[in-house]
């Protein structure tokens, strides 16, 4: 019953509509398809071309695979620059990530074939192992990227991190005041709980959301035995419980954010190590061969 | 002040009456240290007071010094209450004032004008007699007063200069607009001040923030609700002040009266524009429009002889204009008829290079005589109008603009004529628009692209009128408004229905057309009704819902430029769905019967309408048929659509959304935004509301009718080629746009210093890295004066590749959409 005839925004000109498609599905899995094709070609080359004496890195097929692999590794590492150099032009980081993931996975096949299944305790195998480490961490990353965001979004309940912290601070102010009339020892446990900032914990605690000595929890327990008639104390306990709820939300938030980043702490340093090992591998092949 | 300065310099007896205890109250009230700008740069200053861009303090100091030097006779704390002529009555000169009152019929008051001299009555009761009066009272007006008994007690205040100076008080803030909220939060911010703050809201509590805080920006309202939840302050809903006493106030609440302690009342219930006062002086306004200004002669004289109006009140909101007019008006009064207005050189430039070699005055007269919409303008208005407009000369056959080209200006033909290509494949099919008429009005009305190519039919001269100038024209000159509306409606209909329709075919329909403004949420069509009228949406947008299984299901979204309601005409059945305004919208209602006759006469039109209808019917049927297996999805979708509309997506043209099932929180979008725009991010990813994992971040929606544009003194806001709303460098940092944007997406900040390069950061650790640098770093490395200007998303105009935020998102979570694409059922079914 309605017609839209002059919606100019849809007419010619620069169009900024973006497809609602994740990086994994980007352009109907274009890079998955291309990377599968690449892998098939490599596998076919490996098995169909009969090289003497046996397939390894030193044959022409091996060289070709090695060159493709090394080129890919260098290109994959460049993602770190692409992500941060906001230059003009029609690039999209989503397309880059999509290609990064699928081409990165194809390395499993390409590099393994390149080795000709000859592994040992040397710099060549070190490079291979590091590469596999990077790839495995990448796979973990994908798993995190696809499961955590929704959880993060639910947990934050439309609040920003700043707002969560401000909420906590406001509770702390109330607690500070409510604790004034309490006896000394009770007041001290409350104050100790207030000193318990969500940021004092280190990386591991944050990542595993593990806070054994949580002073807020302890302070709540202190008030368990107080009779219900002690209104001031009960009010403080209720406030403490609210503080704990807020604290838990913030901790969950930090855990999820830490997890989303954690794998990069392996992925990126291992990439640096890989590049060093790869350089050593290439140099040694040309010098000592 | 400038006028009094000139009078003092010329030795004319004068008195400068000032309400407050200082001059230039508007500027006095700017925030401390504000950088005041002297736009427009090309305009020369003509005043006995100096004025150049600089800090507020320095400017005010210089003015005070100069005022003393010139020996201006200033009377402070002298608020003028009334101005009355004391001479004989002027025959036939009666001022009619229409007073609008809610729910009651308008009341008309008639005032007989009298000749000067004027008696000026002050609030103190004192009177002053003057031959001529210059009104330069600005547009700030007076705050709305507390009318309850005791409202005149000294602790009932209307402003709060520094909330941190208020200690240990019980305070009642009245009004939950932005000003009231900011005051209340400021007072309660630091518990060490030990203030007990209550804020009164007349509306009931509701889960929908927009409902209970209709006049505040959402982030402000939410912050207030949070403060309330945290116990920092108290929001009292459904409460009003009943009575004020020393130390106490009595409130009337839903549950009866309540008396609470109160040392200070801060009422922030809006301010009344000075119009009523001005009208009572016998000064006529150009129209009933809220934006209208007093009717003035070329020498700033109002309809009350001897009363002159200048400055912001006369419609010139920039300081330099105001000061120049002060000088000029005194010169005029002093009999200097030779004086050319200060804008003369600018106008000479506007008319330079045109054929005929006429003087500015001749050109203005020529324009007035030849262009119908400019007939009724005063020369003064026309001068100002031409400052914002351009003259264009075209040779025969030259293209004026192309179809689909961006453009928001209106053209009027001064000489010659133009032809409009109505068929893009066949350049010979054209319609001619004659001299005196206008074209390009579609771009003006809805800020959209040109709908057809226009070519000069012969040697032609046109005025190109900017959107702002055109809107001002429409509010000041009612006949011009009617003319533009008539022409644009007729053309919109012709273009919409196409199929070889001519203006004659539509004349009957046009005669029945009714213009209506529909408030947000109001239904124009109700499902099941037997109406037949057709509605054309001129501005705003509508949502279409159908009742399925007892629940309203969102069917589609109709942007401006659509029409709705023709289904009932064709199939003669009751209305199949409900259509309501998503935001305040303007529609044209056409009579169904008259339209039906047009349909019958034009089979081609009938056929195309029928085809459209089939498509809609199929969608309806599909939803109906799938409602069993899709009911949860349909409902979810419906709720989601409602959410998006409530977030302003209904009035957006292009909006950034974030799919929170994909967003990994890397903030690369924000960083990219900062890095492609002088180092400041124009979007806040985390802030904003979320529904079903679809997040609407705090970022410009590029509204169909941008609220931010409403009141920008230097006209710094524009709609650009791609529909983007952007701010240019003439911004004076007044913050009006920030206050006017309901979505809180404009920030005021100074351009940060340049950062070391990306490589220097990566390898040498230099500088703050990608993204917006911390405040600390910016402060440490800043050079020179920090000029705060308004900044907001400009959709990365001029940056190849388009918006950086979406390009820089690694996972595809950040998407830009236009509402008509996103809010459609097909979308839901595809994704479901
Ligand atoms: C935040 C902000 C920033 C701005 N920044 C700039 C800028 O950088 N550059 C720029 O060019 N423009 C700027 N403007 C616009 C500019 O300040 C105003 O347009 C200009 O001050 C208007 O001057 P005016 O003389 O017409 O009125 P006003 O400056 O408003 O002066 C009117 C005076 O009359 C007094 N008065 C009012 N009623 C009565 C009465 N009944 N009896 C006696 N006295 C009365 C008032 O107290 C006041 O002192 C800004 C505006 C705002 C709000
Ligand atoms: C040898 C192969 C690889 C190398 C050298 C490599 C290298 C890199 C580098 C340098 C980054 C940039 C990190 C940053 O700056 O934030 C990165 C990011 C990433 N990599 Fe890899 N990677 C490899 C393989 C993979 C594989 C196989 C996957 C997935 C299965 C993967 C998934 C990702 C993802 C998801 C990102 C994060 C993108 C973002 O958030 O911007 N990588 N990789
Ligand atoms: S800045 Fe203007 S265009 Fe953007 S959301 Fe606000 S009012 Fe709309
Ligand atoms: S852009 Fe905004 S801050 Fe700048 S002058 Fe216009 S309204 Fe004022």
CATH number assigned to the domain comprising residue B359: 2.60.120.10
The domain in which residue B283 lies consists of 2-141+273-333
Compute the distance from residue B709 Cα to the ligand 1 centre, in Å: 20
- Closest-lying ligand to the alpha carbon of B320? 1
Using a CB-CB cut-off of 8 Å, the residues of chain B touching A156 are 686
> How many domains does the structure of chain A reveal?
2
**Same-domain check for residues B321 and B421:** no
> Rounded CA gap, B525 and B580, in Å?
7
User: For position B78, what pLDDT does the model report?
Assistant: 93
Of A86, A167, A170, the CB nearest to B672: A86
> How many domains does the structure of chain B reveal?
5
Q: Is residue A150, in this structure, part of any structural domain at all?
A: no
Q: How confident is the model at residue B620 (pLDDT cuts 50, 70, 90)?
A: confident
**Same-domain check for residues B519 and B590:** yes
User: For position B102, what pLDDT does the model report?
Assistant: 57
User: Among the three residues B270, B293, B312, which one is the final residue of a domain in this structure?
Assistant: B270
Q: How confident is the model at residue A7 (pLDDT cuts 50, 70, 90)?
A: very low
Compute the distance from residue B648 Cα to the ligand 3 centre, in Å: 10
Q: Is residue A151, in this structure, part of any structural domain at all?
A: no
**Same-domain check for residues A257 and A166:** yes
**Same-domain check for residues B72 and B117:** yes
CATH number assigned to the domain comprising residue B178: 3.50.50.60
Least confident of B73-77, B354-358, B409-413, B789-793: B354-358
ipTM, two decimals: 0.90
Asked if the model's pLDDT at residue B258 lies above 80, the reply is yes
Ligand 4, atom 2: closest residue by C-alpha:
B737
* Pair of tokens at residue B593: 């019967």
Using a CB-CB cut-off of 8 Å, the residues of chain A touching B661 are 149-150, 153
Q: For residue B159, what is the enclosing H or E element?
A: none
DSSP string over B661-701 = TT-----HHHHHHHHHTTT----BSSSS-EETTEE--BS--
**Same-domain check for residues A50 and A66:** yes
User: For position A8, what pLDDT does the model report?
Assistant: 30
**Same-domain check for residues B127 and B33:** yes
Least confident of A56-60, B484-488, B534-538, B627-631: B627-631
CATH number assigned to the domain comprising residue B684: 3.30.70.20
Residue A281: name the closest of A90, A80, A62, A77 by CA: A62
* Pair of tokens at residue A111: 């590099």
| CB < 8 Å from A in window 230-249 of B | 230-232
Over residues B306-331, the mean pLDDT reads 91
Q: What's the mean pLDDT when you consider all of chain B? A: 84
**Same-domain check for residues B806 and B674:** yes
Q: Report strand pairing: B248-253 vs B534-539.
A: unpaired
State whether the beta carbon of A134 lies less than 6 angstroms from ligand 2: yes
B219 interfaces chain A, CB cutoff of 8 Å? no
Least confident of A150-159, B403-412, B749-758: B403-412
User: Among the three residues B463, B493, B523, which one is the final residue of a domain in this structure?
Assistant: B493
**Same-domain check for residues A47 and A106:** yes
pLDDT tens, residue by residue, B778-807: 888 887 767 889 999 999 988 888 899 999
- Provide φ and ψ at B104, rounded to 5°: -120, 160
Helix/strand/coil for B229 = helix
Compute the distance from residue A76 Cα to the ligand 2 centre, in Å: 7
Half-sphere exposure of A42 (CA within 13 A, CB side): 26
**Same-domain check for residues B348 and B325:** no
> Rounded CA gap, B187 and B262, in Å?
14
Compute the distance from residue B312 Cα to the ligand 1 centre, in Å: 7
Nearest CA in chain B to A144: B664
**Same-domain check for residues A137 and A273:** yes
> Rounded CA gap, B342 and B325, in Å?
9
What separation in angstroms does the CA of A169 have from each of A163, B224, B434, B468? 10, 16, 69, 46
State whether the beta carbon of B824 lies less than 6 angstroms from ligand 1: no
**Same-domain check for residues B56 and B129:** yes
Of B226, B232, B562, the CB nearest to A3: B562
Q: Is residue A212, in this structure, part of any structural domain at all?
A: yes
Pocket test for ligand 4, best of B732, B745, B746, B751 (most atoms within 8 A of CB): B732
**Same-domain check for residues B366 and B472:** yes
* Percent of chain A residues topping a pLDDT of 70: 93
**Same-domain check for residues A52 and A140:** yes
Compute the distance from residue A138 Cα to the ligand 2 centre, in Å: 6
Across B548-574, b (16+ Cβ under 10 Å) vs e yields beeebbbbbbbbbbbbbbbbbbbeeee
B402 interfaces chain A, CB cutoff of 8 Å? no
User: For position B634, what pLDDT does the model report?
Assistant: 67
**Same-domain check for residues B213 and B305:** no
**Same-domain check for residues B542 and B462:** no
The domain in which residue A44 lies consists of 24-84+91-145+266-287
User: Among the three residues B442, B462, B493, which one is the final residue of a domain in this structure?
Assistant: B493
**Same-domain check for residues B214 and B320:** no
User: For position A14, what pLDDT does the model report?
Assistant: 40
In this structure, chain A runs to a length of 289
For an interface test with B, the pick among A3, A24, A88, A262 (most B C-beta atoms closer than 10 Å) comes out as: A3
Query: What is the torsional sign of CA B493, B497, B502, B504?
Result: negative
**Same-domain check for residues B605 and B740:** no
| CB < 8 Å from B in window 97-156 of A | 97, 145, 148-150, 152-153, 156
Q: Under an 8 A CB cutoff, do A9 and B544 touch?
A: no
Across B17-38, b (16+ Cβ under 10 Å) vs e yields bbbeeebbeebeebeeebbbbb
Q: Is residue B644, in this structure, part of any structural domain at all?
A: no
**Same-domain check for residues A138 and A104:** yes
């Amino acid at each position: 019953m309605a017609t839209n005839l002059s919606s100019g925004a849809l007419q010619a000109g620069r169009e900024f509509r973006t497809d609602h498609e994740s990086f994994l599905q980007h352009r109907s899995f274009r890079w998955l398809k291309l990377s599968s094709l690449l892998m098939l070609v490599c596998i076919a080359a490996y098995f169909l071309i009969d090289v003497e004496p046996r397939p390894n890195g030193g044959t022409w097929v091996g060289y070709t695979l090695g060159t493709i692999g090394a080129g890919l590794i260098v290109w994959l590492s460049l993602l770190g620059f692409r992500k941060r150099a906001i230059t003009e032009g029609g690039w999209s980081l989503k397309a880059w990530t999509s290609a990064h993931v699928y081409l990165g996975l194809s390395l499993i096949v390409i590099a393994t074939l390149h080795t000709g299944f000859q592994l040992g305790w040397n710099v060549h195998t070190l490079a291979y192992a590091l590469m596999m480490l990077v790839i495995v961490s990448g796979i973990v990353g994908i798993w995190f990227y696809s499961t955590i965001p929704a959880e993060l979004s639910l947990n934050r309940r439309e609040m920003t991190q700043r707002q969560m912290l401000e909420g906590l601070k406001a509770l702390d102010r109330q607690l500070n005041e409510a604790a004034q009339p309490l006896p000394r020892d009770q007041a001290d446990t409350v104050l100790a709980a207030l000193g318990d900032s969500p940021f004092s914990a280190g990386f591991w605690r944050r990542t595993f959301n593990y806070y054994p000595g949580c002073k807020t929890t302890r302070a709540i327990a202190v008030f368990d035995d107080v009779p219900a008639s002690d209104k001031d104390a009960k009010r403080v306990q209720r406030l403490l419980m609210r503080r704990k709820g807020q604290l838990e939300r913030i901790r969950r938030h930090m855990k999820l954010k830490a997890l989303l980043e954690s794998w990069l702490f392996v992925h990126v340093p291992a990439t640096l190590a890989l590049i060093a090992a790869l350089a050593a591998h290439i140099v040694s092949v040309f010098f000592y061969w | 002040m400038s006028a009094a300065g000139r009078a003092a310099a010329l030795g004319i007896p004068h008195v400068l009456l000032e309400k407050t205890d200082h001059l230039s109250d508007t500027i006095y009230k700017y925030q401390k240290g504000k950088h005041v700008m002297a736009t427009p740069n090309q305009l020369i200053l003509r005043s006995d007071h100096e004025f150049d861009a600089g800090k507020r303090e320095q400017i005010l100091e210089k003015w005070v010094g100069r005022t003393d030097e010139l020996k201006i006779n200033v009377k402070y704390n002298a608020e003028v209450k009334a101005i009355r002529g004391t001479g004989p009555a002027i025959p036939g000169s009666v001022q009619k004032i229409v007073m609008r009152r809610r729910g009651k019929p308008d009341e008309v008051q008639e005032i007989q004008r009298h000749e000067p001299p004027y008696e000026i009555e002050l609030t103190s009761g004192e009177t002053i007699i003057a031959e001529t009066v210059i009104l330069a009272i600005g547009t700030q007006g007076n705050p709305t007063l507390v009318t309850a008994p005791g409202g005149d007690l000294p602790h009932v205040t209307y402003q709060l200069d520094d909330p941190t100076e208020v200690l240990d008080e019980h305070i009642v803030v009245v009004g939950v607009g932005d000003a009231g909220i900011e005051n209340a939060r400021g007072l309660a911010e630091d518990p060490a001040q030990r203030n007990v703050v209550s804020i009164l809201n007349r509306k009931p509590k509701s889960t929908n923030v927009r409902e209970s805080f209709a006049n505040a920006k959402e982030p402000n309202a939410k912050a207030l609700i949070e403060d309330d939840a945290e116990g920092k302050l108290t929001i009292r809903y459904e409460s009003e002040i009943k009575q004020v006493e020393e130390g106490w106030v009595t409130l009337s609440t839903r549950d009866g009266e309540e008396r609470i302690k109160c040392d200070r009342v801060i009422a922030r219930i809006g301010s009344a524009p000075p119009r009523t006062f001005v009208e009572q002086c016998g000064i006529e306004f150009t129209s009933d429009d809220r934006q209208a200004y007093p009717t003035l002669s070329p020498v700033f004289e109002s309809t009350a002889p001897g009363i002159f109006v200048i400055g912001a009140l006369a419609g010139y909101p920039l300081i330099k204009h105001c000061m120049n007019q002060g000088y000029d008006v005194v010169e005029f009064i002093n009999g200097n008829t030779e004086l050319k207005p200060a804008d003369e050189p600018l106008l000479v430039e506007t008319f330079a290079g045109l054929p005929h070699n006429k003087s500015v005055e001749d050109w203005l007269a020529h324009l007035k005589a030849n262009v119908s919409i400019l007939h009724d303008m005063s020369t003064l208005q026309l001068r100002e109008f031409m400052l914002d407009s351009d003259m264009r000369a075209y040779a025969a056959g030259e293209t004026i603009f192309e179809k689909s080209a961006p453009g928001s200006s209106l053209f009027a033909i001064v000489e010659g004529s133009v032809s409009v290509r109505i068929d893009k494949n066949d350049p010979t099919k054209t319609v001619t628009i004659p001299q005196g008429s206008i074209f390009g009005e579609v771009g003006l009305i809805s800020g959209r692209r040109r709908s057809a190519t226009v070519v000069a039919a012969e040697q032609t001269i046109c005025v190109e009128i900017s959107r702002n100038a055109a809107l001002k024209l429409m509010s000041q000159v009612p006949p011009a408004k009617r003319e533009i509306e008539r022409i644009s409606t007729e053309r919109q209909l012709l273009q919409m229905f196409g199929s070889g329709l001519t203006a004659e075919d539509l004349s009957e329909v046009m005669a029945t057309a009714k213009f209506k403004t529909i408030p947000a949420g109001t239904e124009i069509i109700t499902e099941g009704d037997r109406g037949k009228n057709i509605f054309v949406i001129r501005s705003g947008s509508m949502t279409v819902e159908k009742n399925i299984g007892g629940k309203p299901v969102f069917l589609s979204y109709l942007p401006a430029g659509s029409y709705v309601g023709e289904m009932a005409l064709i199939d003669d059945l009751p209305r199949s769905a409900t259509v309501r305004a998503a935001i305040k919208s303007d529609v044209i209602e056409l009579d169904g019967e008259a339209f039906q006759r047009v349909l019958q006469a034009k089979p081609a039109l009938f056929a195309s309408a029928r085809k459209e209808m089939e498509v809609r019917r199929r969608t309806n049927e599909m939803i109906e048929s799938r409602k069993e297996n899709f009911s949860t999805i349909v409902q979810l979708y419906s709720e989601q659509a409602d959410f998006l509309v409530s977030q302003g997506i209904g009035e957006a043209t292009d909006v950034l959304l974030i799919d929170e099932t994909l967003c990994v929180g890397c903030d690369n979008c924000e960083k990219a935004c900062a890095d492609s725009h002088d180092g400041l991010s124009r979007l806040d990813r985390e802030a904003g509301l979320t529904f079903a994992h679809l997040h609407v971040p705090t970022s410009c929606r590029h509204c169909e009718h941008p609220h931010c544009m409403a009141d920008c003194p230097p006209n710094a806001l524009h709609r650009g080629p791609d529909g983007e709303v952007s701010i240019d460098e003439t911004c004076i940092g007044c913050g009006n746009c920030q206050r006017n944007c309901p979505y809180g997406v404009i920030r005021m900040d100074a351009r940060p210093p340049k950062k070391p390069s990306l490589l220097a950061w990566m390898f040498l650790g230099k500088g703050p890295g990608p993204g917006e640098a911390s405040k600390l770093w910016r402060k440490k490395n800043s050079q020179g004066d920090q000029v705060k200007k308004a900044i907001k998303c400009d959709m990365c105009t001029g940056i190849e590749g388009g918006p950086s935020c979406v390009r820089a998102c690694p996972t595809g979570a950040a998407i830009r959409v236009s509402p008509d694409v996103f809010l459609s059922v097909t979308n839901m079914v595809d994704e479901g």
